[in-house]
Amino acid sequence: MKLARIVFSEQDRNQEQASSPMPPWRAAALVAGIVFTAALFGHLTRPLGFLSTFWPANALLMGVMVRNPGWAGPLGWIGATVGYLAADFAMGGGIGVTLWLTAGNLTDAFVGYRLFQRISECDRRLEQPPSLLFLLLISFATAVVAACVSCGSLVLYFGYAPLQAFEFVLTSEFASNLVVLPVVLTAPPFAPIAKRLAASPVLRSGWSRRLQPVAALLASILAGTMIGGSAAIAIPVPAILWCALSYGVFPTALLTFGLGLWQCTVLLAQLTPGTADYAAALTSHRFGVALFSLGPIMVAVINAARAGLLAELDQAANQDSLTKALSRRAFLARSEAALGQNLTARRPIALLMLDVDRFKLINDEYGHAVGDEVLVSLAEHISARLRPDDLFGRIGGEEFAIMAPGLTQAAGLALAERLRDGCARLRVPVKGREPLRTTVSIGLVWGSAGPDCSLRHLLKRADDALYRAKRAGRDRVVDDTLQAA
């Protein structure tokens, strides 16, 4: 299976939400630490005697509160206040300007948090293209609010003209929101991402090809730094769009954040503070960074939505709607291809036919709903015990088939026995009655098929072996070994 993107399921989200809540005081301490670190970083980006060129603290606080609404109580906002004040005082800020700017920062984050609460969960997660419009509008609205609250402090303490102060805060918050928020809003829970990355083929093979878009992005950033000038901001466009088409929404948001950080710090450092055109260049640059950041995220979101639709179409066409095993048509088509590959490689194959014992009696006595539960439980149990390359399909009714290439005869028999024994141990809950026990009978064909041996022939032999198992008493495996070609 090729890994083009990391997909995080609804199950992962439920797992995140079901985790035990953090005590309010601990959440407040964590918020204070996050805000302090982000604010301190922002202070370190400011030129001598000027305000910060990149201020991620407000957007980060807003995103953290949106992702963790339980933290957005009084203690959480008190913790944020402590983080802001501690960072400002650590950098030698005066009491008046520190309190004023902190009020603006908190207002920005709080208004954004409240606005995000008014849209759907999928839009907060940026899971569909219209979500980007909400992100844009909320980012701009909070930037306007922050500018209205904070611009007076720039006029009073830093000597800015009123319009210049308003533009400075507006563009700073707008750019920071669109660079930082997508990372926080789309970040998956840590445990699922660590598990998926550990199991990912990208860590075992083909890693160099997977990293080519990132390498191109790094090369374009280096080129932009060396070239400089107003065109440098656009040099990484092809590379970041390649990344957006190659990875998922969160990886793209993370790369866009790194790109925005470079644009808001390294490129801005090439401007000379205090010159006549510095303020105009700063405003233009920040607006460019803000709107530039939307492009890769939009491409990644559209690509993810397209992939989701294709996956749904593939599932509808190739999966059995009840058991999620392969449909009969898909199993036969893929088994034909697998059989041809095994003939070419001279590898043995194992074909298993499974049938639920006395399934008609289950339907008659317990009803078809219970019968469906039996099929679902058996299919889930069987699927969990097969290898990634094994094919598992529902042939019809209560009958299933498995194509397992490359097994020895002993391994094929062991697999069949494990499946039979595991199915016999399953218990399907029945309302008002004892849990239902079911068994399966299995017919196994194993061996090296000759070039004239078709899938139809193998299925017939496996089916004959299955019915011999039925006649021998059910709940057993009957093996039919092929002769080597």
Reply yes or no on whether the pLDDT at 378 is more than 80: yes
Q: Calculate Rg over the CA atoms of the chain.
A: 30
Smallest CA-to-CA distance from 224 within 184, 254, 265, 281 is with: 265
* Amino acid residing at 6: I
User: How high is the pLDDT of residue 69?
Assistant: 93
**222-240 mean pLDDT:** 84
User: How high is the pLDDT of residue 286?
Assistant: 82
User: How high is the pLDDT of residue 222?
Assistant: 92
Token pair listed for 353 = 């036919």
User: Using CA atoms, how far apart are residues 56 and 142, in angstroms rounded to an integer?
Assistant: 14
Cβ proximity of 182 and 256 under 8 Å: yes
Place of tokens 């563009």: 171
**21-36 mean pLDDT:** 91
- For residue 279, what pLDDT band results from cuts at 50, 70 and 90? low
Same domain, 140 and 277: yes
The more confidently predicted of residues 3 and 142 is 142
Instruction: Kindly state whether residue 311 falls inside one of the protein's structural domains.
Output: yes
Element (H, E) at 393: strand 391-396
Cβ proximity of 100 and 146 under 8 Å: no
Cβ neighbours, 10 Å, residue 234: 12
Element (H, E) at 400: strand 399-405
Smallest CA-to-CA distance from 478 within 421, 416, 418 is with: 416
Smallest CA-to-CA distance from 349 within 334, 362, 369 is with: 334
Residues 67-89: tens digit of each pLDDT: 999 999 999 999 999 999 999 99
Same domain, 130 and 271: yes
Domain termination site, one of 291, 316, 341: 316
Cβ proximity of 380 and 332 under 8 Å: no
Domain count, the chain: 2
User: Using CA atoms, how far apart are residues 239 and 256, in angstroms rounded to an integer?
Assistant: 11
Same domain, 258 and 363: no
- For residue 9, what pLDDT band results from cuts at 50, 70 and 90? very low
- For residue 366, what pLDDT band results from cuts at 50, 70 and 90? very high
Cβ proximity of 443 and 352 under 8 Å: yes
Same domain, 273 and 295: yes
The more confidently predicted of residues 340 and 220 is 220
Tell me the percentage of the chain whose pLDDT exceeds 70.
86
Q: What is the domain extent for residue 400?
A: 328-481
**373-394 mean pLDDT:** 94
Cβ neighbours, 10 Å, residue 392: 21
Cβ proximity of 303 and 244 under 8 Å: yes
Instruction: Kindly state whether residue 8 falls inside one of the protein's structural domains.
Output: no
Determine which of 40-49, 310-319, 395-404 has the lowest per-residue pLDDT on average: 40-49
433-437 and 440-447 beta bridge pairing: unpaired
User: Using CA atoms, how far apart are residues 149 and 107, in angstroms rounded to an integer?
Assistant: 8
User: How high is the pLDDT of residue 98?
Assistant: 92
Q: Between the CA atoms of 299, 301, 306 and 312, what dihedral angle is there, to the nearest 10 degrees?
A: 170
Reply yes or no on whether the pLDDT at 374 is more than 80: yes
Same domain, 287 and 350: no
Smallest CA-to-CA distance from 251 within 201, 207, 214 is with: 214
Cβ proximity of 235 and 224 under 8 Å: yes
Same domain, 60 and 181: yes
Query: Three-class SS of residue 349?
Result: strand
Cβ neighbours, 10 Å, residue 197: 12
Q: Transcribe 283-325 into DSSP letters.
A: HHHHHHHHHHHHHHHHHHHHHHHHHHHHHHHHHHHHB-TTT-S
- For residue 196, what pLDDT band results from cuts at 50, 70 and 90? low
Instruction: Kindly state whether residue 16 falls inside one of the protein's structural domains.
Output: no
Reply yes or no on whether the pLDDT at 230 is more than 90: no
As a 3-state breakdown, the chain gives helix, strand, coil percent values, each rounded to 5, of 65, 10, 25
Same domain, 358 and 211: no
Same domain, 80 and 212: yes
User: How high is the pLDDT of residue 285?
Assistant: 78
What is the tally of helices (H) and strands (E) in the chain?
19, 7
Query: Three-class SS of residue 272?
Result: coil
Same domain, 307 and 410: no
Reply yes or no on whether the pLDDT at 484 is more than 50: no
Residues 114-147: tens digit of each pLDDT: 999 999 999 999 988 899 999 999 999 999 999 9
Same domain, 441 and 473: yes
User: How high is the pLDDT of residue 190?
Assistant: 64
Name the pTM for this structure: 0.69
Averaged pLDDT score across all residues of the chain: 85
Cβ neighbours, 10 Å, residue 331: 24
Instruction: Kindly state whether residue 128 falls inside one of the protein's structural domains.
Output: yes
Domain termination site, one of 261, 295, 316: 316
- For residue 423, what pLDDT band results from cuts at 50, 70 and 90? very high
Instruction: Kindly state whether residue 111 falls inside one of the protein's structural domains.
Output: yes
CA 144 to chain centre: 32
CATH of the domain at 432: 3.30.70.270
Instruction: Kindly state whether residue 15 falls inside one of the protein's structural domains.
Output: no
Reply yes or no on whether the pLDDT at 445 is more than 80: yes
Element (H, E) at 403: strand 399-405
DSSP 56: -
Instruction: Kindly state whether residue 5 falls inside one of the protein's structural domains.
Output: no
Smallest CA-to-CA distance from 176 within 148, 151, 146 is with: 146
**357-385 mean pLDDT:** 94
Smallest CA-to-CA distance from 135 within 253, 238, 243, 35 is with: 253
Cα–Cα distances in angstroms (integers) from residue 300 to residues 43, 127, 246, 294, in the given order: 32, 10, 8, 10
Q: What are phi and psi of 235, to 5 degrees?
A: -60, -40
Same domain, 287 and 339: no
Reply yes or no on whether the pLDDT at 194 is more than 60: no
Instruction: Kindly state whether residue 134 falls inside one of the protein's structural domains.
Output: yes
Domain termination site, one of 316, 351, 380: 316
Same domain, 76 and 215: yes
- For residue 342, what pLDDT band results from cuts at 50, 70 and 90? confident
